[in-house]
Amino acid sequence: MLAAQYPVLPVIVPLLSAPIAALMPNRSLAWIMASLVSALVFATAVALTVIVSAQGMISYEVGGWPAPYGIEVRVDSFSVVMLLVISGASTLALISGKASIDAQIPSDRQPLFFAAWLLALAAYSGIAVAGDAFNIFVFMEISSLAGYVLIANGPDRRALPATFKYLVMGTIGASFYLIGVGLAYMMTGTLNIADLHARLGDVPYLRPILLSAAFVTIGLAVKAAVFPLHVWMPNAYARAPSAVAVFLSACSTKAAVYVMLRFDFMIFGGAFAHHDVQFSTVLMSLALLGMLIGSAVAIYERDVKRMLGYSSVGQIGYILLGASMISLGGVSAGVIHMFNHAMIKGGLFLAMGALVLRLGGGTLDDLKGAGRTMPWTMGAFVLLGLSLIGMPLTAGFISKWYLVQAALDLGTLGIVLIAAILISSLMAVVYIWRVVEVAYFQSPQAGASKHQEAPLMMLVPLWAVVLANVYFGLDPSIPVDLATNAANILLEHAK
Amino acid sequence: MTGFDSHGMLLGMILLIPLLGAVLVGMASRWPNLRETGSVLAALALTFAVWSLLPGALAGERPELVLFEILPNVPFAFKAEPLGLLFAALASLLWVVSTIYSMGYMRGNNEAHQTRFFMLFAVALFAAMGVAFSANLLTLFIFYEVLTVSTYPLVTHKGDEASMRAGRVYFGILIGASIGLFLPAIIWTYALTGTLDFVPGGILEGHLAGPAVGLMLGLYVYGAAKAAVMPLHRWLPAAMVAPTPVSALLHAVAVVKAGVFTIVKIIIYVFGVDFLFATPSSGWLVPVAAFTVIMASLIALRQTNLKRLLAYSTISQLSYIVLATAILAPLSQVGAALHIAAHGFGKITLFFAAGSIYTASKKTDITQMNGIGLRMPLTMGAFAIGALSMIGVPPMAGFVSKWYMLGGALQTENYLAIGTIILSTVLNAAYFLPILYRAFFLTENVAPPREHGEANWPIRLALGTTALLTIAFFVFNGPVVDLEMQLVETLL
């Protein structure tokens, strides 16, 4: 019965294949292995999505030890959204990344690079399916360590300070999280999320739990690059190898947001009075600031990858804004945007990978005239940019629609939120259009005459993402249904 | 809601034909003659498909095509009703003429990127058809945005610094208004009513009252910035950097009419004329539209660049349509619908003439055009017909729509509207007649770079055709009036 083992496959398979990839004799074999494993995880994620949609939550007891004593793996609608994002991004990044990885990373180091990649994949999947707080910590650490290795392989030495900044801030975040989990464990004696939720009701003295909630939320906010704790992120994306930027931009911050929502809704939400008010006041203000300031900074950024990083600060704001409304509509909108934004931003970084490969750099100056020399890549960039702005016919529009609709239920406050959403969208028009104008209206730099279109292996995954964007913009029922289920699960526990 | 019948299938065809046309044009990029034949055939096929819906519509048929649901209770759906049909019939017919014209213009001026040009033209027509036949606000919004995005590269066709700047204004204002105003209005409507369907009599009555109605109306009127109601009009003069066929078909017909069409449609099918009439907070629209009519005419008086003058004239004429629908009288709704067509015929003729002058003589300024009527009698004759139609002189198209607008204004005794229409007629005459005087009665003051007569034959054919259509609309407007009367038959 393989089907019964599906919930652990996304973790076990990449984890076990990582050392094998490290031992591969040459770079192509390691790449093939990593791509196949990643595709297998994606297939498993799709299978799990089908099963969860039909039957509801799956609980898997590792080694047959029952929860809460054994390790529990739990897969619900929220987990499968994450799994789809993680494995989809990893697979597309690997397939499209072959050429750019070969260009940016020395051959002898590549098997180790792919081993680190598979570890990151295993760890992110682990975060998505883990049923207890400590395993989440372990996976978070694996994902971060693997992530540092991946980013440090960036094409020039600026990757090292970027990694160091990420490492310091990531460690602070993880420590905060661990302190918070420790406090909760001290008061309840359990680490299983469902069990924590059940037992917190019996804790007589709640002050440590309040502290625990603060530590966990802030620690995860660092990892999620929530404004103003985002400073590690734009450089980490910009200096990393192009393929890594695709993978991490789609799932590193989202994994942290995912854990944050799990904790704040499923554990702390029902535990003490006013948690929802505190959570929503703090996060909503941070989300608003992130949306406005992140997008504003993006406008002035001349390095397009850093620009996309700051844009992500704003987009994380959208996700948190939805979550901080603590309504079915709001939380679903947040989860929908997690899915859509991963698709959009991952796609934009795919396009950047192709542009950097051919043009040698990712600043606005490098992109001059790219609209003429690389029409397919830039065409995809423009369409994904329109999705980021929220144009109809694209997935980004669906996100905005649900977010604004949820905000409308909040009365006067809602109008302020809608204004912020719209202003931030208009700023997205500005920063995307700067790239468009440079690429289509300026002539290529002198000496950069012999540019050509990106290889087919990059264009196919890129356009697959573009088409997925259009598809989910026209028929959003899959993400919307999953997100609504996820929001129901989260809110049910918060009551 | 029903599925689809044979006429519903026809709606699907109407959307597919321009898209197929775009693909064909792209595939034939290496053979210009074949490529343009493809464009003309697509335009003819589209015209045939749209016009074949007309007899049924006159008999009261309303074919539908429901594809799938995008949001709960909001399908991706199309429906042919009198207003949209008129807009589609107009745009498709004029697409045929302007394709012929474009052929002459683009080749006559050795423009670059002609394949891209003809492809995007077809995509813009696809978007216009989608706007015309949308059965609900969301479907309309989708195509409305496709229209903005697909026309941006047409406006910036030259690809130089000036067109980049103009493109910024064009895209910035249109997208800004859509995202900032139109979209919130749609979502607000959906939150209030749970539906976005276009229903005769409106959907908002009973869900919204007091000043909020005026606010909602404002979000829609300014959100549909393609209607260029002041102060969101700057994009239209900016768009004049485009090649003239774009200005002619898109910025005198397809794009700008999509804007006013959207406003008229929303007033009739979302608010409901009776509901708005009973709500005083919607009254601001009449003075604002009247102001735009007068102000744009005054600015037009001071223009020396012919295309910019025509652009401001368009702004003024578009607000005529908004004004007519804002009067909220049944007859003026008919007038608004008729003016969409009447102004389309007249203004495309004027733009064709401007492009013809440019192709033959490279002249763009009115001050250089002394005596040009003697060199180019056909062009300036057509220009005269278009200009007289703008002023509203019989036997031109503009007279018919003005008649109904004035009729509506008298019905409701709206003296502001009556005064505006009369004053603007005077102003229209004040900026068009001097051009005709210069062209025919003054002697040439600026020698052209080379001797020239009329422009090449496709240009002459196209502008002659539209000039005849301008007159024909005066004579044969009966079926159109009958069709548009169906819009308001419940109100009469």
* Other residues' Cβ atoms within 10 Å of the Cβ of residue A59: 14
- pLDDT tens digit sequence for B210-242: 888 888 999 999 999 888 888 888 888 888 888
- pLDDT tens digit sequence for A111-163: 999 999 999 999 999 999 988 889 999 999 999 999 999 999 988 888 899 99
B161 contact partners, CB below 8 Å, separation of at least 6: A441
Domain extent, residue B264, equals: 6-488
Tokens (6 digits) for B88: 């589609």
- pLDDT class of B492 with cuts at 50, 70, 90: low
Residue B316 has pLDDT above 60, yes or no: yes
Q: Which residues of A touch B184 (CB under 8 A)?
A: 404, 418, 422
CB contact under 8 A, B183 and A422: yes
Residue A374 has pLDDT above 90, yes or no: no
H helix or E strand, kind and range, residue A43: helix A27-55
- pLDDT tens digit sequence for A219-259: 999 999 998 898 899 989 999 999 999 999 988 899 999 99
CB contact under 8 A, A404 and B183: yes
Q: Decide if B427 is inside a domain.
A: yes
Tokens (6 digits) for B211: 């000043």
CB contact under 8 A, A429 and B172: yes
pLDDT at residue B1, as a whole number = 40
Contact A317, A369 (CB under 8 A): no
pLDDT at residue A123, as a whole number = 95
Q: Taking a contact as any Cβ pair under 8 Å apart, which residues of chain B between 79 and 118 contact chain A?
A: none
Question: Smallest CA–CA separation between B145 and chain A, in Å?
Answer: 7
- pLDDT tens digit sequence for A258-272: 999 988 888 887 667
H helix or E strand, kind and range, residue A92: helix A77-104
Contact B220, B202 (CB under 8 A): no
CB contact under 8 A, A433 and B71: no
A346 contact partners, CB below 8 Å, separation of at least 6: A88, A89, A92, A93, A246, A247, A249, A250, A465
- pLDDT class of A203 with cuts at 50, 70, 90: confident
CB contact under 8 A, A426 and B171: no
pLDDT at residue A309, as a whole number = 92
* Other residues' Cβ atoms within 10 Å of the Cβ of residue A199: 18
Q: Decide if B238 is inside a domain.
A: yes
Tokens (6 digits) for A397: 């529009």
Supply the mean pLDDT for chain B: 86
Domain extent, residue A231, equals: 3-494
* Other residues' Cβ atoms within 10 Å of the Cβ of residue B393: 17
Name which of B141, B153, B156 is nearest A392 (Cβ-Cβ).
Answer: B141
- pLDDT class of B490 with cuts at 50, 70, 90: low
Task: Spell out the SS3 assignment of chain B.
Answer: CCCCCHHHHHHHHHHHHHHHHHHHHHHCCCCHHHHHHHHHHHHHHHHHHHHCCHHHHHCCCCCEEEEEEEECCEEEEEECCHHHHHHHHHHHHHHHHHHHHHHHHHHHCCCCCHHHHHHHHHHHHHHHHHHHHECEHHHHHHHHHHHHHHHHHHHCCCCCHHHHHHHHHHHHHHHHHHHHHHHHHHHHHHHHHCCCECCCCCCCECCECCHHHHHHHHHHHHHCHHHCCCCCCCHHHHHHHCCHHHHHHHHHHHHHHHHHHHHHHHHHHHHCHHHHHCCHHHHHHHHHHHHHHHHHHHHHHCCCEHHHHHHHHHHHHHHHHHHHHHCCCHHHHHHHHHHHHHHHHHHHHHHHHHHHHHHHHCCCEHHHCCCHHHHCHHHHHHHHHHHHHHHCCCCCHHHHHHHHHHHHHHHCCCHHHHHHHHHHHHHHHHHHHHHHHHHHHCCCCCCCCCCCCCCCHHHHHHHHHHHHHHHHHHHCCHHHHHHHHHHHCCCC
**C-alpha distances in Å from residue B209, one per residue of A298, A340, B206:** 41, 36, 7
C-alpha span between B470 and A184 (Å, rounded)? 80
The average pLDDT across A386-392 equals: 90
Q: How many domains does chain A have?
A: 1
pLDDT at residue A387, as a whole number = 93
pLDDT at residue B464, as a whole number = 87
* Other residues' Cβ atoms within 10 Å of the Cβ of residue A115: 24
Size of interface A-B (CB pairs under 8 A): 65
Q: Which residues of B touch A392 (CB under 8 A)?
A: 138, 141-142, 145
Q: Which residues of B touch A477 (CB under 8 A)?
A: 69
Q: Decide if B1 is inside a domain.
A: no
Supply the mean pLDDT for chain A: 89
**C-alpha distances in Å from residue B413, one per residue of A237, B264, B405:** 65, 20, 12
Question: To probe the interface with B, which of A433, A434, A480 has the most B CB atoms within 10 Å?
Answer: A433
Tokens (6 digits) for B148: 């903005």
C-alpha span between B175 and B169 (Å, rounded)? 10
Residue A1 has pLDDT above 70, yes or no: no
Question: To probe the interface with B, which of A336, A404, A484 has the most B CB atoms within 10 Å?
Answer: A404
- pLDDT class of B74 with cuts at 50, 70, 90: confident
Alpha carbon A185 to its chain centroid, in Å, reads 28
- pLDDT class of A447 with cuts at 50, 70, 90: low
∠ CA(A414), CA(A418), CA(A422), 5° rounding? 175
CA atoms within 13 A on the CB side of B207: 15
- pLDDT class of B475 with cuts at 50, 70, 90: confident
C-alpha span between A277 and A281 (Å, rounded)? 6
- pLDDT tens digit sequence for A45-100: 999 999 998 888 888 888 888 877 888 888 989 999 999 999 999 999 999 988 88
Q: How many domains does chain B have?
A: 1
Tokens (6 digits) for A226: 């929530």
The answer, for A425 touching chain B at a CB cutoff of 8 Å, is: yes
